[in-house]
A and B are shown apart, each in its own frame.
Chain A
């Protein structure tokens, strides 16, 4: 008999999310993902000074504000006609600011959002060593109030006691590491979350030798952690839960906007030289050049009046709260009409097939260490592995960029806000492809549109009946214990969903919304 497994709220993600799976004969036959918070940023942005978009859109998400700030400034640079005028210092400091948050976001995701699905914290009750931090956790467990580490799913924790204890220690160390990544960012960015320094034209802060050195040595500590602890821990999880290379395969199509500008002279973000390459990969093999004209959003199973798929700046929003086929306020972004996964795995597949030397060498090493085939990467563990490799390559490259900064040289280009203009900012964030679009009229924002990574990954079915990537990853999954459906939460979290980012969302009900104008 079919049963419905509902996980609401899905915790240890950014924001408010719900998963619903129909399980029949121990297997997921139908799946739905939806967000349960709607704020309407695009409505709030209308009519404002275009420059405020950089500050306001960072507030879309406190976990990955930096990439919204980056996409917004690229968008404004292009609308202001200065996309090719950002000085090298500005370009590099933007890379370092965004890179620092990549490290923060990925470390936080693996240890603090994901690890508790695999690691048993209560094993520390039997700890007999002399590590003061683990002993304070032991005292905590002994006192008996286990919140926030209980309640939890019970059952499939596979590590032995000593490894569990070691991983709890790493969870604690990782708290420091992600904090230091923010400190590093703040040296150039002013504060975190929500940095102050990234602005149209470049940055506001000057690179000075003391800041460069302070940044470098914080970075070195984090690189030691990535090489010595984070990557080995991902391998431990992979070796202990190897079945998760066969669980959670998505659509097999991958989209990446590229990220970390290596050259600021091209105004075309789809073509400029970036550390990770732009592109679209179909069926894990065929690479195409990125064509932003192919990006559309569908509304067939979202609560909007039926409409043809439209490009971002052409979206017309007519809510239809009682639409029978609707089950989400998230739209369904499509690329050339098809479903694409975005995120670190997509980034790595696209760069790998683009022949990116750094990526190719690192990925081939990882595949051989893990004893897997490249196809196995389309899985829960593949996403975690790609995220860890992402962290390493970004951190290592940041150390090179730091030495390219030239104290005393310009950090920002001048600009005028045009009377009328349009812009587009494309960049990959920690969670994947992020696009900001703007239309300016009378020097004010006439329309601002965001298509964010979790909208790509977490959106509903489209007019062709194609499920969204997360839904596809859930479909066909064998659930051992419907009361403790570890498989489902491990799949969902492997996408690192960020619900605050998928701004168009609401809940499954949504009666009486018809009067609302949702952009």
Chain B
């Protein structure tokens, strides 16, 4: 360990979230979680994870000060990772992160404050990227996706979305590694909803091992049957992700692999437009999708 290691500060805050993104991230294999936390994940570059409420040793006001101090000491240098959407109803009171000087700080305030000063924002998970489940009709807490929220606040910072409910750990780690190696992604590397094309460039349906059934018109009537699951609501034909080739949890399986329908969890239209989850979507509804299927 003689070579100089550069410390890249990062802070990870969670809004209207379920911790599923964190739990998925720590399922990473190569690199392992230990590699991510303590080793230079790319030679010469170590991510110094200064704040992550589920992992960090400390608690209370001292850790809130870490957030404030990072913004003060490392302006333009730190990466802001946001998991969960940002509840904006009731001026943000639906989600507070902790107290500074006896005053509760809302997710809304903290996101705006940190985004203003950070280098770039990674929106991890479908909730942070597009609102996700908590933003489902009638969106009780007025959850906004990170990019919409920042736009509304007049904050112009690069945002990369890594959706998924949860995202595959490779998608998160791969995006971070790409940034460490090549800098922030150029626009051509992202699709129209700011996802890295490297992971979200292909339709699930095009790579599905059950595609031949679809082409032959053989459709399952129940889950656990052979055949294409389209007629019982599989959203693979509208969903862009590499699940069929990457597989989940050390390559063990994936939703359709287990005989279940894809529910389209990486899509901006998840879950209102893609519901009911086990029912085929009517053709007229397709026109209302944010992403047009090829």
Q: Which residues of A contact B (CB under 8 A)?
A: 6-16, 18, 36-41, 43-44, 47-49, 51-52, 55-56, 59-63, 65, 108, 112-113, 116, 121, 133, 136-137, 139-140, 142-143, 145, 147-153, 172, 175-176, 178-179, 182-183, 185-197, 199, 202-206, 214, 411-412, 414, 489, 500, 506-513, 516, 518
Contacts and interface: CB of A to CB of B under 8 A. Distances in A.
Contacts of A186: 248-250, 252-253, 258
A512 B58 contact: no
Given A62-B18, A65-B20, A137-B38, A179 B27 contact: yes
A411 B277 CA distance: 20
Given A62-B18, A147-B56, A510 B99 contact: no
B277 A500 contact: no
A508 B104 contact: yes
Contacts of A513: 90, 93
Most A-side CB within 10 Å, residue of B20, B137, B263: B20
B141 A38 contact: yes
Contacts of A193: 20, 23-24, 166
A509 B16 CA distance: 18
B113 interface: no
B34 interface: yes
Given A7-B60, A194-B165, A187 B137 contact: no
Contact of B277 (A51, A139, A140, A195): A51
Interface in B21-45: 21-24, 26-27, 29, 32-34, 37-39
Contacts of A18: 98-99
B48 A147 contact: yes
Contacts of B18: 59-62, 65, 500
B271 interface: yes
A206 B265 CA distance: 23
Contacts of A60: 18
Interface in B217-264: 222-224, 248-250, 252-261, 263
Contacts of A511: 93
Nearest to B133: A59
A150 B38 CA distance: 13
Given A14-B19, A140-B39, A112 B55 contact: yes
12 contacts: A36-B96, A51-B276, A61-B18, A136-B38, A140-B46, A145-B46, A145-B48, A187-B253, A192-B248, A195-B258, A507-B93, A507-B104
A399 to B, nearest CB: 19
Interface string B250-294: 101111111111010100000100011111000000000000000
Interface in B68-107: 87, 89-91, 93-99, 102, 104
A510 B87 CA distance: 14
B191 interface: no
A56 B24 contact: no
B27 A192 contact: yes
Interface in B46-70: 46, 48-64, 66
A489 B224 CA distance: 46
A8 B60 contact: yes
A47 B90 CA distance: 24
A510 B93 contact: yes
A190 B223 contact: no
A379 B272 CA distance: 45
B138 interface: yes
Given A9-B60, A37-B87, A194-B165, 12 more contacts: A10-B60, A39-B94, A112-B55, A140-B37, A149-B56, A151-B62, A175-B34, A185-B249, A186-B258, A190-B255, A199-B223, A205-B259
Nearest to A178: B26
Nearest to A37: B95
B275 A196 contact: no
Contacts of A16: 14, 53, 95-97
Contacts of A190: 248, 253-260
A61 B19 CA distance: 7
Given A62-B20, A148-B51, A38 B258 contact: no
A262 B19 CA distance: 31
Contacts of B146: none
Contacts of A37: 15-17, 87, 94-96
Q: For chain B, which range describes its interface: under 10, 10 to 19, 20 to 34, or 35 or more residues?
A: 35 or more
B246 to A, nearest CB: 11
Contacts of A185: 249
A147 B97 CA distance: 18
B166 A62 contact: yes
Most chain B CB within a 10 A radius of its CB, from A59, A183, A188, A199: A59
B93 A44 contact: no
B5 interface: yes
A204 B93 contact: no
Contacts of B248: 186, 190-192
List the 8 closest A-B pairs by CB distance, nearest first.
A62-B20, A190-B258, A40-B140, A49-B276, A196-B260, A140-B38, A152-B57, A186-B249
B136 to A, nearest CB: 4
A175 B271 CA distance: 31
Given A182-B27, A513-B90, A150 B223 contact: no
A187 B19 contact: no
A11 B22 CA distance: 14
B41 to A, nearest CB: 12
Contact of B278 (A9, A15, A51, A179): A51
Given A6-B60, A49-B276, A191-B253, A197 B259 contact: yes
Determine which residue in A40, A133, A185, A516 has the highest number of CB atoms from chain B within 10 A of its CB, and name it: A40
A507 B90 CA distance: 12
A205 B224 contact: yes
Contacts of A14: 19, 54
B165 A59 contact: yes
B48 to A, nearest CB: 5
A136 B32 CA distance: 13
A506 B89 CA distance: 12
B104 A151 contact: no
B276 A52 contact: yes
